[in-house]
Structure 1
Amino acid sequence: MNKVISIGKQDFEQIRKKNYFYIDKTNYIQEWWESGDDVTLITRPRRFGKTLNMDMMKCFFSNQYIDRSDLFEGLSIWKNEQYRKLQGKYPVIFLTFADVKADNYDESKNSIIACINDAYQSHRYLLKSNLLTDGEKEIFRVLDEYVSNPEPTKTITNEVIFRAVKGLASCLNRYYGQKVIILLDEYDTPMQEAYVHGYWDEFTSFIRSFFNSTFKTNPYMERAIMTGITRVSKESIFSDLNNLTVITTTSERYADCFGFTEKEVFQALDDFDMGNKKKLVKTWYDGFTFGNQKDIYNPWSITNYLKEKQLRPYWAQTSSNGLINKLLQKSSPDIKEMMEELLNDRNIIVNFDEQIVFDQLEQNKNAIWSLMLASGYLKIQEIEYRGMLLTPWYHLCVTNLETMSMFYSMFQGWFHDDASNYNEFINALLNGNVKEMNAYMNDIALTTFSSFDAGKHPSGKTQPERFYHGFVLGLLVDLKERYEVKSNRESGYGRYDVMLIPTNKRDNAFILEFKVHDSEEEKKLQDTVQAALNQIEEKQYDAELLEQGIKKSQIRHYGFAFEGKKVLIDGN
């Protein structure tokens, strides 16, 4: 009989006690312990087992789980006699910032205080000893009252918060005569919230001091692990941590410790009598790469598929992807063009810093690739080192079909508020109804133009460019089955804006040219439209289509003229 698959359970003890489906990742314990690193930061995409692995670490090292061989018997770590002796030998402080999601600084800080209080309350037994000072006992009481009482009698200064974990470590060190292991899960969740909601500077100053006291100037700490999705730049919050080892998705270490390897996935499929689905599962869910370890699968989708036995974008549906959506929507035209390449199953080659500087995301256009790589939406096919300085250039592509579906949903969502008009515009375009095209496009532009505005004062040229490249991504998604959508490519004697090449060569092809009205050169918007249509003819943009065997009579030309949020379309 197959084991029960418990979706979303991150409690290692419960999984082992109830014999739920579990893929052995205890090799991570030995690999980390033998590294000898003081503080380890490991970044992996969401739903990749970070929290479960941290809970496993707690169960293995914490002296609150002493003599719990039942949790580890039969797993790889228990084959090593040395590690059997290590189980349950350290006091452990476990913190998680997974729920620190607030739209302002005060609420975020209060949520972190609540996380610290949870750690304190799990060690309340310390209050029964005579080893704690009155001041240390007071911290227990003040934290608990502050969190549980809507109107606490005492406030908590930042200095008390900064030193709270170090203070708890001091108490545990005195009580057990042993230094402490500190585990912090989802460390970067509040960072993203601070950036999105506009309190980044204030928050990073606070968290930098907290990390410094907890992880650097803490003589009671034996070792520590932090996990998260992104590698936030050292200058932002880790400037004082010279004892930090950072492991990203491009690092070799711990490559098979998070996520499922292909061998593990195929064995699970066999165990659940689904061995005939391996090729299908590989197409949908394979593709993640950590270091040189290829063919990594995300655990969330695999466990859901094993349970439900249906192909679905399980992992892609677990997040709103709000930050990436915002950055892509407002990104420059060349970023959107690269997204077109990715959606057409092609690679892009880009250079970026793996460190995320959140407050520079909108200024540094290439930072979006670092964020998408860390989030698991893109994978590295190859790293090419160029020049004397061996600057890394990354060959990136979409990870798999599931992540491709996530991008499709994202780009369709850009026109969601005016979805009916957008769909009707597509129909009018394909049917050659210029009057309806004008009506629908003006409504679309009116409601969505500002969504593509990258700044407070975009130039008259930049704003329509950002809009039309976003519009092209929408076209690509909606017409993918019928047309190849290309933009800004050479044909004839120039570069057209948009070309729709039919899959069925009996269907019509389309060339779209976009122009911004220039009041010094053109009296009316109609003149701008005519200039766009003339450019298509003069530059012989039809050449690429004619070379593919499409007849001249099947090629439709459309000129788009922009003046503010007003659009005029004409065709021939």
Structure 2
Amino acid sequence: MDFVTLQVINRPKEETDMMQQRLYPIGIQTFSEIREKNYLYIDKTGYVYRIAHFDSKYVFLSRPRRFGKSLLTSTFHSYFEGRKELFEGLAIDKLEKEWIPYPVLHFDMSMAKHMDEKRLKQMLDYMLSEYERKYDCGIADADANVRLANLIKRAFEQTNRQVVVLIDEYDAPLLDVIHEEKNLPTLRNVMRNFYSPLKACDPYLRFVFLTGITKFSQLSIFSELNNIKNISMDEPYAALCGISEEEMQTQMSDDLDLLADKLKVTRDEIIGKLKENYDGYHFTWPSPDLYNPFSLLNAFADGKMNSYWFGSGTPTYLIEMLNKYGVAPQQIGGQKVFATAFDAPTEQMTNITPLLYQSGYITIKDYDARLDLYTLNIPNKEVRLGLMESLLPHYVPPTETERAATLTAYLFDSIDRGNMNEALQLLQTFLSTIPQCDNTDYEGHYQSLLYVIFSLLGFYVDVEVRTPRGRVDVVLRTHSTLYVIELKLDKTADAAMQQIDLKNYPERFALCGLPVVKVGINFDSERKTLGEWKIEGQ
């Protein structure tokens, strides 16, 4: 799709004509194309100038996929080539006075995904050959590191200017094998060999910028290059990628009005919907709220809310790693940790937290400066629903996913009307008529199942909620009711209800402003479904 424009409804003709010129850069990551074809561009060039002039010569930035890393790298490319005409009217236009063109070597490592050692080396050969022809190096019969070193020196000699090296998605060749003990070291050695000249070529380099999703240790990837400045959690660059609330309400103000008109809601209501679905990212603290740019632009372009970021692809390595570490759905997010627990080299991690954080499935939600503890959680509704949909096959066979989707619609209708009894009847029938997955003989399986299903309904759901006298298995909150749910396996619904009463769980939620309904459920391990339940207060 080259471009998409938002349908205009009930606008004066002159305003309509102007707004129809708004082009959204869906999938376009080249700065020059965005500027030359008048696509919407959220101005990040003030950050570009600061990084290029006031920070280390070697800079690394980690952000989740589709968060603007490639566009940022392309912006550096145009800037260091001295293409002043592309930056007219942007923040950097008032900052830069010289516009000196430098030779730029730009390597997009996303081209090297899903490759074995042989094909990865062939791709590096292809990338190097293109620049070797440009700078008349010849195609050397040598390893990639020798060729890169020769290329940097040759570009320096030909132009009499230091060289800029941009490496976008440096970790892309490694992500799909991150869980493989055999292939990861092999591909990691190939990339370490390729990057190894960067320190030795320091006199010939003006600037080196690397982006990625995960944070591999300098020892394993960059060898002796120990002077890389990681700006991923630096407060001045909190809004470097993504779209802030202020940027959306100023640079996309007309877009908000158009979307509100299309969906027949107020401007404040559309901001609330966008915030619920796509906002909530923080990569340091304090930080402005950041929207996922890919999802936000798609929502404006399509004129509706949809699962854009998660729908664009759930990396297989994520599901593999969740399985490897035995992470239940309800264990994703909701923890307080030190920065070293999530801003950590991926290959040294002992739990799933660094990968979930660096991939964008959990984000910083709060920070306690006194204890130096960060609160991590799922950023927004889009990510929560996407995660639960991806994990549903662990509880429902793939052949039944379509029926499961239909079930969630009926469950939502029943619970939204306040009829929990009807909802549990639907769930009992569904579970009793499908082939069973493994591990259905312990209570935690059914707790996870309810968590996934209730999350897919879009309601607030939490598990193991602390009270003064114990922990509630499941808490479900709708717009009109708060359900306190206790689960048992191969016991009775009365036993579940007695525990609720004995420990007086509803007392914990007396001030929530909603009527509290108690639900005791007993699961039958032999029938693999709900056995009986008891509801009080509905």
Q: TM-score, normalised by structure 1?
A: 0.72
Once the two structures are superposed, what CA deviation does each residue of 1:341-385 show, in whole Å capped at 9, x if it has no partner? x5xxxx532344344444455xx22xx232222223333232235
Aligned partner of 2:48: which letter?
Answer: I
C-alpha change, 1:466 and 1:228, in structure 2 (3 Å) is farther
**Structure 1 residue 338 corresponds to structure 2 residue 331:** yes
The equivalences for 1:106-505 within 5 A come to 106-121=118-133, 123=134, 126-127=135-136, 136-139=137-140, 160-196=143-179, 198-248=182-232, 250-272=233-255, 273-274=257-258, 276=267, 277-291=270-284, 292-332=286-326, 336-339=329-332, 347-351=334-338, 352-361=340-349, 364-365=350-351, 368-385=352-369, 392-414=372-394, 415=396, 417=398, 418-419=400-401, 430=423, 439-440=432-433, 443-446=435-438, 449=439, 464=442, 467-478=445-456, 481=459, 487-488=463-464
CA contact (8 A) 2:61 2:211 kept: yes
Once the two structures are superposed, what CA deviation does each residue of 1:199-255 show, in whole Å capped at 9, x if it has no partner? 11112222223222234455422221001122222333234112211111x222333
Mapped to 1, the partners of 2:431 and 2:274 lie a distance apart of 44
C-alpha change, 1:9 and 1:435, in structure 2 (3 Å) is closer
Specify which of 5, 21, 29 is matched with residue 48 of structure 2.
29
CA contact (8 A) 2:59 2:229 kept: yes
SS of the counterpart of 2:290? strand
Aligned partner of 2:121: which letter?
Answer: K
CA contact (8 A) 1:493 1:540 kept: no
1:320 is displaced (CA, Å) by 1.4
Specify which of 93, 96, 107 is matched with residue 78 of structure 1.
93
Once the two structures are superposed, what CA deviation does each residue of 1:375-410 show, in whole Å capped at 9, x if it has no partner? 2333323223566xxxx4211232223323323322
CA contact (8 A) 1:492 1:540 kept: no
SS of the counterpart of 2:42? coil
Aligned partner of 2:278: which letter?
Answer: Y
CA contact (8 A) 1:379 1:396 kept: yes
Q: Which has the larger radius of gyration?
A: 1
Mapped to 1, the partners of 2:347 and 2:151 lie a distance apart of 33
Mapped to 1, the partners of 2:215 and 2:502 lie a distance apart of 47
Mapped to 1, the partners of 2:223 and 2:35 lie a distance apart of 39
Aligned partner of 2:162: which letter?
Answer: K
In structure 1, the gaps of 5 or more residues are 128-135, 143-156, 453-462, 515-528
Percent identical pairs in the alignment equals 23
Mapped to 1, the partners of 2:214 and 2:300 lie a distance apart of 29
1:301 is displaced (CA, Å) by 2.3
C-alpha change, 1:436 and 1:112, in structure 2 (3 Å) is same
C-alpha change, 1:508 and 1:318, in structure 2 (3 Å) is closer
1:31 is displaced (CA, Å) by 0.3
Q: Which residue of 2 aligns with 1:52?
A: 71
Root mean square deviation of aligned Cα: 3.9
In structure 2, the gaps of 5 or more residues are 1-17, 261-266, 412-420, 534-538
Aligned partner of 1:477: which letter?
Answer: S
CA contact (8 A) 1:512 1:560 kept: no
CA contact (8 A) 1:216 1:243 kept: no
Mapped to 2, the partners of 1:268 and 1:242 lie a distance apart of 39
Mapped to 2, the partners of 1:422 and 1:195 lie a distance apart of 31
C-alpha change, 1:403 and 1:559, in structure 2 (3 Å) is closer
Mapped to 2, the partners of 1:328 and 1:179 lie a distance apart of 44
CA contact (8 A) 1:162 1:214 kept: no
The equivalences for 1:541-552 within 5 A come to 544=504
Mapped to 2, the partners of 1:485 and 1:433 lie a distance apart of 19
Aligned partner of 1:282: which letter?
Answer: K
Q: Which residue of 2 aligns with 1:526?
A: none
CA contact (8 A) 1:491 1:540 kept: no
1:183 is displaced (CA, Å) by 0.6
**Structure 1 residue 19 corresponds to structure 2 residue 38:** yes
Mapped to 1, the partners of 2:128 and 2:444 lie a distance apart of 44
Aligned length in residues: 484
Once the two structures are superposed, what CA deviation does each residue of 1:478-515 show, in whole Å capped at 9, x if it has no partner? 5555xx7554457898667567789877x99864324x
Mapped to 2, the partners of 1:187 and 1:348 lie a distance apart of 29
Mapped to 1, the partners of 2:478 and 2:274 lie a distance apart of 30
Q: Which residue of 1 aligns with 2:7?
A: none
C-alpha change, 1:240 and 1:405, in structure 2 (3 Å) is same
Mapped to 2, the partners of 1:540 and 1:298 lie a distance apart of 40
The equivalences for 1:91-106 within 5 A come to 91-106=103-118
C-alpha change, 1:400 and 1:556, in structure 2 (3 Å) is closer
Mapped to 1, the partners of 2:115 and 2:124 lie a distance apart of 14
Once the two structures are superposed, what CA deviation does each residue of 1:24-81 show, in whole Å capped at 9, x if it has no partner? 222123201222412100112222222122112112212xxx5x4322222222223x
**Structure 1 residue 513 corresponds to structure 2 residue 497:** no
Aligned partner of 2:378: which letter?
Answer: V
Q: TM-score, normalised by structure 2?
A: 0.76
Q: Which residue of 2 aligns with 1:38?
A: 57
Aligned partner of 2:31: which letter?
Answer: F
Mapped to 2, the partners of 1:5 and 1:137 lie a distance apart of 41
Mapped to 1, the partners of 2:453 and 2:203 lie a distance apart of 59
Aligned partner of 2:382: which letter?
Answer: E
C-alpha change, 1:36 and 1:509, in structure 2 (3 Å) is closer
Mapped to 1, the partners of 2:221 and 2:336 lie a distance apart of 29
SS of the counterpart of 2:124? helix
Mapped to 1, the partners of 2:437 and 2:380 lie a distance apart of 32
Q: Which residue of 2 aligns with 1:520?
A: none
Mapped to 1, the partners of 2:80 and 2:502 lie a distance apart of 68
